[in-house]
Amino acid sequence: MSETIEALLEEGRRYPPPEEFTRNANLSDPAVYDRAEKDVEAFWEEWADRLDWFERWHTVLEWNPPYAKWFLGGKINACHNCVDRHAEGARADKVAIINEGEPGDVRTLTYSELRDEVARAANALKELGVGRGDIVCLYMPMIMELAVAMLACARIGAPHTVVFGGFSAESLKERINDTRAKAVITADGGWRRGKVVPLKRTIDEALAQCPSVSRVLVYRRIGDAAEFDAGQWVEGRDVWWHDIVPKQSTDCPCEPMDSEDMLYVLYTSGSTGHPKGIVHTTGGYLVGTSATFHWVFDHKEEDIYWCTADVGWVTGHSYVVYGPLAEGATVVMYEGAPDAPDKDRFWRIVERHKVSILYTAPTAIRTFMKWGDEFPARCDLSSLRLLGTVGEPINPEAWVWYRDHIGGERCPVVDTWWQTETGMILISPLPGITVCKPGSATRPLPGIGAAVCAEDGTVLEGPRGGYLALTQPWPAMLRGIFNDPDRYVEQYWSQFPGKYFTGDGVKRDEEGDLWLLGRVDDVMNVAGHRISTMEVESALVDHPAVAEAAVIGRSHDVKGQAIAAFVLLKSGYSGDHLPKELRAHVAKMIGPIARPDDLYICGDLPKTRSGKIMRRLLRDIAEGRALGDTTTLADPAVVASLRDQYEQTEA
Ligand code: PRX
């Protein structure tokens, strides 16, 4: 970490907003920060007023730490705000979603078509017995029906829980059983690098152990296009989308929801073996995501906006679906991989649809850098006017490459920091105001309070490094962990009482800008995906051959972090096939994203005298660094032999 800080502190490049950009920007007067600070509730109220409410709130905020409620008494529907109000107004014929499939098929929906499709899907859900308060699990490819399904749930007041299509049957089962979802919406499969991701088959496997699910609605994405095993059809449970949705009426009023009614649960990794169901509610979430979309992406009526994140992650919830659609944007959704069929696919999409705002992850940018400048250079990227990044720290080289090679040296680049829990972007430049620095997310947005804290919770002023904490509630903040109120308090509010603990390290520079340094807990960030070391360890010890496992994230030049696992076998087990088998076992238990990059079978693990595994030393070994302090080890010989083993593997 200290090397990262050193490198960042030497970064002296500055990029003020282009004058022309500032002239037209949605936010161009820095006074907005002061205005928000002076009366933060009045400030958020202004942004809430841009939405349609069936009934206005009577109280902006009720803050009983650590529980916040926003816009109390307000009645609102997320689907109405994202769809109907545009369909019934000037945006009726404006394109809402451009959906490019991996095979190259393009489908679009205007706002009025989206309204009708969502209303039909909502009526179909009702026919399947889903009503207000029932939870629906969505396991789908990046096709527009995923957005339609989310909005249909929101329309009838049924909270959704989207599970990323790369998660395994085990992970699905855990999430479905935690929420006791009543129904599932899925597809036969999705396209990824020319192959079919067999979603329905995985659902079938999971549902064998999910008693709460009585109906499964299946969109036919692949059909006869490929020979593949689409799973089994369970009569009475499974129903094709095309058999039930198109025949529905488009008459389906939006359910007036309470501002604090749950909109969705989304699972994310924490520092234990089990993911946490992050709960988001309706009014505040919509205010936070729509306002930040307007400010940070400077969205204008004529923009074509593309966020490359999968809707299975929070970025897709807040900045593919709810934020942009609430603002009436035209949103691009792409189903497949960035190198299918060739490494210029993203740039072909930008060119084809004249994308003007692009939001992607540093890991993708580093991959593009590695692939070479020729791929973007082949395409016309002149439609772009603003670039964004999210999900992990961006190294200055990647930031500058993105600006120069993708943004043609003219587009501002906004590095946006936030989390599944925060629901909305909290730290980011405002592209018409902020002087950008490659590698820095700069400042908290207007209305957001952030502090750099020492380990004991003391707030550190000036240019200092420490832990990032949030000092006041914000509208889209999580309202808790589903089914686990104690964990909510413990995880976020016990480290620094009265403040939200983010789990991230941060450094503030001389000018007051923030440089996010990554997680300080046992959460890894692998290619922008959040994975806990404990989850991978639990998956490993689930294998009959494994006695004990220790997992760490080691630095990786493209993925940010890679997973390294150190495994101790039970006696009687050995064999060269095991590393491969164990890596595959983790992929089966969690999903391919959690498959360890390195797996070492070792004779022992470095432990303190009290039996705690010293992960820091494992990290030193995996990164080939000089070993840190080993004096607290019960048996110092253990690390030496691990180091030898590592060096042999490398050679
Ligand atoms: O460590 C931070 C990192 O991603 C974590 C949140 O992960 P997740 O909940 O999956 O949400 C990702 C998308 C919002 C944070 O705790 N992170 C996210 N954005 C940045 C970042 N680290 C540095 N810079 C960022 N811009």
Give distance in angstroms: CA of 391 to centre of ligand 1.
Answer: 4
Element (H, E) at 566: strand 560-569
- How far away, in angstroms, is 145 Cα from ligand 1 center? 27
- C-alpha of residue 8 to centroid of ligand 1, in Å: 18
Give the model's confidence band at 635: pLDDT under 50 very low, under 70 low, under 90 confident, else very high: confident
| pLDDT exceeds 60 at position 367 | yes
Residue 453 main-chain phi, psi, to 5 deg: -115, 150
Question: Per-residue pLDDT for 5 more than 80?
Answer: no
> Is the beta carbon of 117 within 6 A of some atom in ligand 1?
no
Ligand 1: nearest atom to the Cα of 318 = 14
Task: Indicate whether 4 pLDDT > 70.
Answer: no
Average pLDDT, the chain: 95
For 154-197, what is each residue's pLDDT tens digit?
A: 999 999 999 999 999 999 999 999 999 999 999 999 999 999 99
C-alpha–C-alpha distance, residues 391 and 363, integer Å: 9
Ligand 1 pocket residue status of 418, Cβ below 6 Å = yes
pLDDT, residue 633, reads: 78
The answer to whether residue 56 scores a pLDDT higher than 80 is yes
pLDDT, mean of residues 403-415: 98
Q: Can you give the pLDDT at residue 593?
A: 94
What is the pLDDT, as a whole number, of residue 596? 97
Nearest residue (by CA) to ligand 1, atom 4, is 391
By mean pLDDT, which of 198-202, 231-235, 427-431 is the weakest?
231-235
169-179 vs 578-589: helix axis angle to the nearest 10? 30
Ligand 1 pocket check for 516: Cβ under 6 Å: yes
Q: Which atom of ligand 1 is nearest to the CA of 529?
A: 10
- Position 466 scores a pLDDT of 96
Which residues, including other chains, have CB under 8 Å from residue 65's CB and lie 6 or more apart? 493, 498
Q: How far is the CA of 255 from the centre of ligand 1 (A)?
A: 33
Q: Closest by alpha carbon to 485, among 277, 263, 177?
A: 277
* 3-class secondary structure, 409: coil
Question: Is the minimum distance from the CB of 532 to ligand 1 under 6 angstroms?
Answer: no
Whether the pLDDT of residue 9 is over 70: the answer is: no
| Contact 292 CB / ligand 1 (< 6 Å) | no
What pLDDT score was predicted for residue 67?
97
Top pLDDT among 216 and 614 is at 216
pLDDT of residue 34: 98
459, 497 in Cβ contact below 8 A?
no
- Angstrom CA distances, 301 to 56, 222, 543, stand at 27, 34, 54
Which has the higher per-residue pLDDT, 645 or 161? 161
pLDDT of residue 651 exceeding 60:
no
- The fraction of the chain above a pLDDT of 90, given in percent, is 87
Cβ of 390 below 6 Å from ligand 1: yes
With 0-12 CB in 10 A as exposed, 13-18 as middle and 19+ as buried, what is 364? buried
Can you tell me the mean pLDDT for 303-323?
A: 98
Q: How far is the CA of 337 from the centre of ligand 1 (A)?
A: 22
Domain coordinates in residue numbering, the chain: 527-650
Q: Per mean pLDDT, which range of 381-390, 400-409, 610-619 is the poorest?
A: 610-619
> Over the stretch 232-273, which tens digit does the pLDDT of each residue have?
899 999 999 999 999 999 999 999 999 999 999 999 998 888
What pLDDT score was predicted for residue 427?
A: 98
- Ligand 1, atom 18, lies closest to the CA of 391
Residue 308 Cβ < 6 Å to ligand 1: no
How many angstroms separate the Cα of 190 from the Cα of each of 164, 183, 222, 244, 584? 12, 20, 7, 20, 21
User: What angle in degrees, to the nearest 10, is found between the helix axes of 637-650 and 615-622?
Assistant: 30
Band (390; pLDDT cuts 50, 70, 90): very high
pLDDT of the residue at 627: 76
Cβ count within 10 A of residue 342: 12
For the CA of 313, the closest atom of ligand 1 is: 10
Q: What is the mean pLDDT of residues 403-432?
A: 98
Q: Give the pLDDT of residue 161.
A: 98
391 Cβ closer than 6 Å to some ligand 1 atom: yes
C-alpha to C-alpha distance for 241 and 219, rounded to whole angstroms: 5
The pLDDT score that the predictor gives to residue 650 is 62
Res. 637 pLDDT band, cuts 50 70 90: confident
Ligand 1 neighbourhood includes 420 CB (under 6 angstroms): yes
CATH of 527-650, one of 3.80.10.10, 3.30.300.30, 3.30.70.890, 3.40.50.720: 3.30.300.30
Beta carbon of 537 within 6 Å of any ligand 1 atom: no
pLDDT value for 628: 77
Q: Does an H or E element contain 414, and which? A: strand 413-416
Ligand 1 center from residue 315 Cα (angstroms): 10
Confidence check: pLDDT of 308 > 60: yes
Q: Which of 422, 512, 413, 398 is nearest to 476 (CA)?
A: 422
Q: Specify the residue with its C-alpha closest to ligand 1, atom 26.
A: 417
**400 vs 228, higher pLDDT:** 400
Q: What is the pLDDT of residue 372?
A: 97
Q: What's residue 634's pLDDT?
A: 77
Q: What percent of the chain has pLDDT over 70?
A: 98
Mutation pick for ligand 1 pocket among 279, 395, 414, 516 (CB with most ligand atoms within 8 Å): 516
Collapsed DSSP state (helix, strand, coil) of residue 105: coil
Q: Over 80: is that where the pLDDT of 611 sits?
A: yes
- Confidence category of residue 565, pLDDT binned at 50, 70, 90: very high
For 63, phi then psi, to 5°, come to -120, 100
Residue closest by Cα to atom 10 of ligand 1: 530
Cβ-in-10-Å burial (0-12, 13-18, 19+) of 257 comes to buried
Question: Is the shortest distance between the CB of 439 and ligand 1 below 6 Å?
Answer: no
Give the residue-averaged pLDDT of 595-614.
90
3-state SS of 209-233 is CCCCCCEEEEECCCHHHCCCCCCCC
Report the C-alpha gap between 557 and 573 in whole angstroms. 34
pLDDT at residue 1 tops 60: no
Using the mean position of ligand 1's atoms as its centre, give its distance from the Cα of residue 528 in Å. 8
Q: Return the exposure string of 365-389: e unless at least 16 CB atoms fall within 10 Å of the residue's CB, then b.
A: bbbbbeeeeebbeebebeebbbbbb
CB of 553 closer than 6 A to ligand 1?
no
The per-residue pLDDT for range 213-230, each reduced to its tens digit, is: 999 999 999 998 776 677
| pLDDT given for residue 3 in this prediction | 56
